[in-house]
Amino acid sequence: MAASSTLPDDRGRFGRFGGRYVPESLIAPIEELEETYNKAVGDESFSEELSSLLREYAGRPTSLYYASRLTERLGGARIYLKREDLLHTGAHKINNCLGQALLARRMGKKRIIAETGAGQHGVASATVAALFGFECCVYMGEEDMRRQALNVFRMRLLGAQVIGVKAGSRTLKEAISEAMRDWVTNFEHTYYLLGSALGPHPYPLIVRDFQTVIGRETRAQFKEMEEGELPDALIACVGGGSNAIGLFHPFLSDENVRMIGVEAGGRGSNLGDHASRFEGGLPGVLHGTYSYVLQDDDGQIALTHSVSAGLDYASVGPEHAWLRESGRAEYVSCSDEEALEAVRLLSRLEGIIPALESAHAVAEAIKRAPKASGQTLVVNLSGRGDKDIGIYREKMPDLE
Amino acid sequence: MSRISKTFEQLNTGRSRGLVVYLTGGDPHPDRTVDFVLALEKGGADIVELGVPFSDPVADGPVIQCASERSLQAGTNLAGVLDILRRIRERSDIPLVIFSYLNPVLRYGFEKFTEDAATAGADGALLTDLNVDEAGAYMEQMEHRGLDPVFLIAPTTSLERIKTLSQSSRGFLYLVSRTGVTGEQKSISERAIPLVERVRSVSKLPLALGFGLSERKHMEEVAPHVDAAVVGSAVVRMIGDQGDEKSLPSRLTALCAELKAGLRLDTSTV
């Protein structure tokens, strides 16, 4: 399985997944991005500048925290939390945004556009735009603007324009479509800052590479805390899958480390009630990549539901599709309700209010830990819950 | 020789450039598309591109997005578009090109798609998000069934890629006049005619220019340079605005006649 850490191939393929399925007009901008990225990777000054931004601006390294009270309560596996929620802007998204902002500057672009679901990527994009002096425009489904209103205001405060998207389910899928339309029209001066390990090659590669700092730190920190050992399992939520691939990738060659991705089980198993792409979807093409896609019998993309806007998407990053098919990682789902229970438990026991997305990973750890005595689990706490307080108030009336 | 090639051969000896018209199959209802196509042909359309509606048309502007929504609302799917196509073919010999995003075709099954499309009487297919680099196996299956694969070329496409796209296409090449999504524009992009000339220097295929062309004056402007002009959003907008009106077919005929008049060549430019 060590070979999988060398993927994608030069056509952007992870096994049969990935690739570059875009209208011809987008080929030139994508090739420009690919060329810029390949040059940047080989340039020491690029990685040095990124490292210092991550350290001094974003607040890396984030801690790996042993959650003793949660561990004690569950009475099984020892649980560690990778604290991406402590980063500037409150989630792992800033790792990728700083990297891509450096690419945008290299390409001489003056304007960045982004899509956002939960608003965390939108906030991180607006943040780097402010930092680098770019004009910034964020596309967001109107339903997501409603449920993540706080983040909409944050983006505006940071100087970004937030454009509501009315089409379809008014969530992340439509926001990506609209961002792609803007990009194809304005790419000469506009950089598309894609927020997850999705889309046409080389985005899944670029986003993953900028997020693997999560896994590299985790690996070193865990070894230091546990006398050179590695964890038994890694758990992360998977919308597009950027926080998960960032945690998993540096462990791909460590055959004894299990990897568990957690999708949004939503409110039920019918199409339209969840975002469990692996259980309910089939391979197909959406937004430039070949991966698992929730779709109807006619190949129309299905609507999705999750209480968590960041996991509410009909497709999944192609590398996850490959990791699942090759058996290297496993994918499960947690329901809205389980995620909300996890929010309560983590808040009460550890004094950490997680984002709804990350709460799906915590929920999976809560399920597994009691049956895994003697093992160690690392959960990627990819974001903090401040943005979700409105939803928590609505869903937990007993606390009002 | 395919219907498409024959059409361009005839156009070559005539006094007019070709008019290629796009409309979304099943918009606003599957029962109406056949009449619309016949009306377009009557007005002078030489080739019709029949769109398959898709939930997430990333290459399309608002006009064609709305057409997709209306068509999906009416229950249209790929099988439905093939049925429309079969019914058109019963009444007309006009070349028909299926225009689709890839996913509905993959879900239907590519091989079955090529077989059923050919049986229904389709002449070609253009798959918007099927990048030519990913298209090898698909092109073979299309050619096996006698369907012309048609690819897009953009103003930003490199000369090397233009050669690949030309070698991979049959029937004609679809040149995108400007970067961006489909939709009407006031004027034609400055990049359009240089693009036509660049492609002409490396390809012998007929060249159709589209994206943003919607009026007679646009037709007049491009006629000296292209083999055909493609009009989509202007027709689709008329269908969207007047879809329920009985007089719509005659208006579509009139629109096509007006556009086609702009593609006529006077002797000085032949």
Pairing of strands A289-293, A282-286: antiparallel
Q: Which residues of A touch B232 (CB under 8 A)?
A: none
- Could you tell me the CA-to-CA distances from A308 to A304, A313, A343, A344, A390 in Å, in that order? 11, 10, 12, 15, 12
Per-residue pLDDT tens over the stretch A4-18: 578 999 999 999 999
CB contact under 8 A, B179 and A168: no
Determine contact: A41 vs chain B, CB below 8 A: no
Q: What was the pLDDT predicted at B184?
A: 86
With CB atoms and an 8 Å threshold, state whether B72 touches A300. Answer: yes
Question: Which chain A residues are closer than 8 Å to B61 by Cβ?
Answer: 181
pLDDT recorded at residue B267: 52
Percentage of chain B beyond pLDDT 90 is: 91
Q: State the angle between helix axes of A203-211 and A318-325 in degrees (0 to 180), rounded to the nearest 10.
A: 80
Which tens digit of pLDDT belongs to each residue from B22-79?
Answer: 999 999 999 999 999 999 999 999 999 999 999 999 999 999 999 999 999 999 999 9
Query: Which among B159, B105, B171 has a CA at the least distance from the CA of B137?
Result: B105
Of A20, A23, A173, the CB nearest to B56: A173
- To the nearest whole angstrom, how far is the Cα of A7 from the nearest Cα of chain B? 18
Average pLDDT over residues B4-29: 96
Mean pLDDT confidence for A356-368: 98
Is A52 noted as a catalytic residue in this protein? no
Instruction: Yes or no: say if A311 and A237 are a contact pair by the CB < 8 Å rule.
Output: yes
User: In angstroms, rounded to a whole number, what is the distance separating the alpha carbons of residues B209 and B55?
Assistant: 26
Statement: residue A220 has pLDDT above 50 = yes
Check if A93 is active-site.
yes
- Selecting from A22, A187, A282 the residue whose C-beta is nearest the C-beta of B179 gives A187
Does residue A61 have a cis peptide bond before it, meaning omega lies within 30 degrees of 0?
A: yes
Q: Does B161 touch chain A (CB under 8 A)?
A: yes
How far is the C-alpha of A291 from the C-alpha of A301, rounded, in Å? 13
Looking at the complex, does the CB of residue B78 fall below 8 Å from at least one CB of chain A? Answer: yes
Cβ of B103 within 8 Å of Cβ of A28? The answer is no
Q: Which residue of B has its CA nearest to A169?
A: B55
Beta-strand ranges (E) seen in A209-309 are 233-237, 258-266, 282-286, 289-293
Å between A294 CA and nearest CA of chain B: 11
For chain B, how many helices (H) and strands (E)? 12, 9
Question: Is residue A2 predicted with pLDDT exceeding 50?
Answer: no
Domain B17-148+213-261 grouped into CATH 3.20.20.70: yes
Picking from A93-102, B185-194, B218-227, which range would have the lowest pLDDT averaged per residue? B185-194
The confidence score (pLDDT) of residue A167 equals: 83
Q: Taking 80 as the threshold, does the pLDDT of residue B269 lie above it?
A: no
Active site residues of B: 49, 60
The A78-83 sheet, strands edge to edge: A64-66, A78-83, A376-381, A233-237, A258-266, A330-335
Query: Which residues 157-176 in chain A show a CB within 8 A of chain B?
Result: 167-168, 173-174
**A contacts of B56 (beta carbons < 8 Å):** 168, 173-174, 177, 286-287, 301
Q: Is B74 in the A-facing interface, judged by CB distances under 8 Å?
A: no
Nearest to B181 among A21, A181, A285 (CB): A181
Residues near A48 by beta carbon (within 8 Å), at least 6 away in sequence: none
CA-nearest residue to A18 within chain B is B134
| Average pLDDT score, chain A | 96
Task: State the nearest Cα–Cα gap between A102 and chain B, in angstroms.
Answer: 24
Of B65, B77, B165, the CB nearest to A298: B77
Interface touch A25/B108, C-beta < 8 Å: no
Identity of the residue numbered A203 = Y
| Nearest chain B residue (CA) to A179 | B58
A197 and chain B in contact, CB less than 8 A:
no
How many CB contacts within 8 angstroms connect chain A with chain B? Answer: 112
Residues of chain B with Cβ-Cβ distance to A29 below 8 Å are 156
Q: Tens of pLDDT along A121-150?
A: 999 999 999 999 999 999 999 999 998 899
Q: Say yes or no for a CB contact (<8 Å) between A25 and B154.
A: yes
The pLDDT of residue A207 is 98
Q: Is the minimum CB–CB distance between A396 and chain B shorter than 8 Å?
A: no
pLDDT band at B186 (very low <50, low <70, confident <90, very high): confident
Q: Mean pLDDT across the stretch A274-280?
A: 96
The predicted complex's ipTM stands at 0.95
CB A187 within 8 A of CB A65: no
The token pair that represents A144 in the structure block? 């997501």
Q: Which residues on adjacent β-strands are paired with residue B209?
A: B175, B229
pLDDT for A142 equals 94
Q: Measured between CA atoms, how close is B189 to chain A, in angstroms?
A: 12
Whether A346 and A352 have beta carbons less than 8 Å apart is answered as: yes
Whole-number pLDDT of residue A3: 43
- Is B149 at the interface with chain A, CB within 8 A? no
Please report the sign of the dihedral spanned by the C-alpha atoms of residue A336, residue A339, residue A341, residue A343.
Answer: negative
Predicted local distance difference test score (pLDDT) of residue A347: 98
| B270 pLDDT tier (thresholds 50, 70, 90) | very low
pTM: 0.96
The mean per-residue pLDDT over the stretch A32-39 comes to 98
Q: What is the pLDDT of residue A4?
A: 58
**Residue that wins the pLDDT comparison between B168 and B267:** B168
Question: B107 vs A297: CB contact, 8 Å cut-off?
Answer: yes
User: A331 - beta bridge partners?
Assistant: A261
- A334 forms beta bridges with A264
Compare CB distances from B56 to A19, A177, A283 and report the shortest one's residue. A177
